Chain A
Amino acid sequence: MRFVRVGLLVLSGLGLLRVSLFTDAYLRYVKEGMRPLLIASGVLVLALGVAEVVSWRREHAEEHAEGHGHDHSGVPRVAWLLLLPALSLLFYAPPALGSYTASRGAPKAVAVVEEDGFEPLPATSPLPITLTDFTQRVQQDTGRAIEGRTVRMTGFVTPVGEGDGWYLTRLMLSCCAADAQSVKVRVYGVAAPPADSWVTVTGVWHEGGTLGTSSAAVALDARGVERVERPVNGYTDALPLPS
């Protein structure tokens, strides 16, 4: 039974350390700020396992010297379940959430910008912009600064259930992957790359509804699409990397 306890603790500790200290895999599940806490947790759980081994050996030696048994409490049966996340983290860590989640969840409500809160857009063309910014510009900027501008955005591909085009998507977390919310921009004019692949799209606003009001379509007429590497932290709405 002690063997089981040591095994559970050591495997859990190693699993936590693997995803937080040795790789970036923790970013598939939680936010960046959790890293120190996760490393500390991994070390602590591992230390509990090691301490158990040490006291085991010491008691073993005492047992031989004194010749009396010790009180060995068992392992709670439910603790065996810890094996699942521990082994999963160690050997078979599931990928970050992607198009499956994005296609089912309701889109994230984009924050409302104050009436004169929109800065003039920089003159660079194509203009790098985040999906959230683009949504705000299209639906809220009464100055219509986005009109006619060529923009660049990076996200992953989510197929559209019915109708033309596909969604350029980002998922964002408040705390962990259980509360992921999506922001989507519909892309027209280019055949859809495979679902879940990361792409940078260049294009202009796809006309639909009245620009600057909530009736405006959050959509893009794409001029070009290029495949890009998945960013290390995929759960943020970041600007496209300069190419």
Chain B
Amino acid sequence: MRAIEDTGIREREADPADEEPARGLPRYWLWLLVGAAVLPGTVLVLVGRALDEPAVQAWRTVCLAVVVQAMPFLLLGTALSGAINAFVPAHVFNRLLPKRPALAVPVAGAAGVVLPGCECASVPVANSLIGRGVTPAAAFAFLLSAPAVNPIVLTATAIAFPGSPEMVLARLLASLVTAAVMGWLWLWLGRAEWLKPAVRHAGHRPGHSRWTEFRQGFQHDFLHAGGFLVVGAMAAATFNVAVPRSVVDAFADSPWLSVLLLAVLAIVLAVCSEADAFVAASLSGFSPVARLTFMVVGPMVDLKLFALQAGTFGRAFAVRFSTATAVVAVVCSVLVGGVLL
């Protein structure tokens, strides 16, 4: 009985393999089976062990720290941008800002004083300003100046550099000048096609509940910007863990190199603008001008900001804009720092 069954099964197995090999088991099915059984387990064990390496643990801690620290400010920014879209009519901004774009740029830059927060908040707000008909040049000036010149950041700077109020003044001036120059540069050279077409922010539509629009805009912006915040935090954590500070300090002696080095450091470390003054103060081996550069570049260009900008305005824009901003910010801080410090 059993023998008959056995042969029957064998025949049934053998048949399809002979006649239509394409539908049978792959040639190395046994290896594949073993691989499928062993591989996930091995990967899990290896990943698990790797996650407990000190370097990986430090990376995860720094990455989470950047995300957790930025989260409240990101929420503030996205809520504000949702509110601007849903509740503020477009003509308000047209009335507040001067008609001529060239004049609107410095006014918008100076208006950055009112947004208390760090750079994560300013990107969604700038985006919603553009959606509400504000000229992009003015919105970009606001985007750059808001995280650097608001009262919280200036107070932090004053606390971090006790007894040198000229540092606060230099930071304020250099940031405002950079923001205005970038706005004018956009008026001169900028092209609308670099911007990702933003169809989402149509503002308030008649017949829809403003609260629902607010909630949906807020939610979408938060998910979107939050994802890019994670990208930026990962990049910043990688540099933070991979480049030890002692390497950085080796460059402190040369005045020009140190300015450039701290500019690069501001970009890759992606320290929150409310904290960068304390970090700058701790870089005691560097000249005041180099430290000013660190504080001017940091809030305007850094890895997490780049990720946020690329997500919001498009990569074509973010690459050009960040590069130009970095150059302008370094030049402005060297000029302002050279006069004041």
Chain A residues within 8 Å of B, Cβ to Cβ: 5, 8-9, 12, 16, 19, 26, 28-30, 34, 37-38, 40-41, 44-45, 48, 51-52, 55, 73, 75-82, 84-85, 88-89, 92-101, 104-106, 108-109, 174-179, 181
Contact = CB atoms under 8 A, between A and B. Distances in A.
Contacts of A44: 75, 79
Interface of B: 51, 54-55, 57-58, 60-69, 71-72, 75, 79, 160, 212, 215-216, 218-220, 222-224, 226-228, 230-231, 233, 236-237, 240, 244-246, 248-249, 269-272, 274-275, 278-279, 282, 284, 311
Contacts of A55: 212, 215
Contacts of B72: 34, 37-38, 40-41
A2 B220 CA distance: 11
B275 A179 contact: yes
Contacts of B61: 28-29, 94-97, 177
B227 A16 contact: no
Contacts of A177: 61-62, 65
B289 to A, nearest CB: 18
Given A176-B272, A178-B237, 12 more contacts: A12-B226, A26-B68, A38-B71, A41-B72, A44-B75, A48-B222, A55-B215, A80-B227, A81-B230, A85-B68, A93-B64, A100-B55
Contacts of B248: 106
Contacts of B67: 85
A122 to B, nearest CB: 27
A79 B229 CA distance: 10
B223 A82 contact: yes
B81 to A, nearest CB: 14
A181 B79 CA distance: 33
Q: Give the residue among B58, B69, B246 with the most A Cβ atoms within 10 A.
A: B69
Contacts of B69: 29-30, 34, 175-176, 178
A204 B75 CA distance: 50
Most buried by A among B51, B57, B65, B275: B65
Contacts of A175: 69, 271-272, 274-275, 278
B230 A178 contact: no
A45 to B, nearest CB: 7
Contacts of A29: 61, 64-65, 68-69
A27 to B, nearest CB: 11
A104 B239 CA distance: 13
